[in-house]
Amino acid sequence: MIVDIDIGNTRAKWRLSSHGEIVQCGVMDSQSQDWSALSALRTYQPRRVRVSNVAGEAVAQRVRGLAGESFNIEAEFALACESVGRVRSGYQEPERLGVDRWLTILAAWDLFGNRCVVIDAGSALTVDFVDDRGHHLGGYILPGKRMMLAALFGGTSGVRVNTAQVPSSDYGKNTDAAVHNGCFTMTLALIEKVMHQDSEVEGWKNIALTGGDAESLLAHLPDTVVHRPDLVLDGLALALP
């Protein structure tokens, strides 16, 4: 039994698996003080805990404590590095690439085995490009939906938006819709540009989409875009086999 944990800035996803088969999975608030759902997995006697963490050292210490107290094992933390198998980092200082981005790159290459784009629509929107040799070419980092909304809240006195608004690419006929749809359309526009750039090789055909906002984007994207909600967790098995 192996526990894999993907700790992002806002959410932590986890799953318990045995020989590649998922036994249990769940989602929690990254900053929550209640980690009882993970502690309860002690009944399965997991032999490993593999972690991707971008939420800071305090959260990392909490995971280390949980692994030791509940499972009597040491948590293993994935780190971005120069290469894993055929995949090579595109950063001049590989360790400065976010570990969650690195794990999605590994998982996307494992999925496609060819040139591909990885889009993580989470707290931040990240886009990473991998060529046909498995070499990471670099990417983009933009504000995600929540960050864009927060920027409007903080920078304008008259904009107070309902965060439950369902976004679309339609013209907004009230402030809520105008803000949500504007942010949503900006995200779609970037993804569409990515899909059609590098026209000399007919664009990027292998695209993996993950992150908390992925599902809202899928309905507006071609069926060829592959949705993998647990791409970071998939990457943990490749970084820490």
SS3 96: helix
The distance from CA 56 to its chain's CA centroid, rounded to whole angstroms, is: 16
By DSSP bridging, strand 207-210 and strand 116-121 are parallel
And the tokens for 127? 């886009």
Nearest CA to 99 among 76, 115, 117, 72?
76
Give the list of residues 6+ apart from residue 56 with CB closer than 8 angstroms, or none. Answer: none
Assess contact for 128 and 105: CB atoms under 8 A. yes
CA 73 – CA 45 distance, rounded (Å): 10
Residue 234 among the catalytic residues: no
Which among 4, 6, 100, 110 is annotated as catalytic?
Answer: 100
And the tokens for 134? 């498995």
By annotation, the residues acting in catalysis are 100
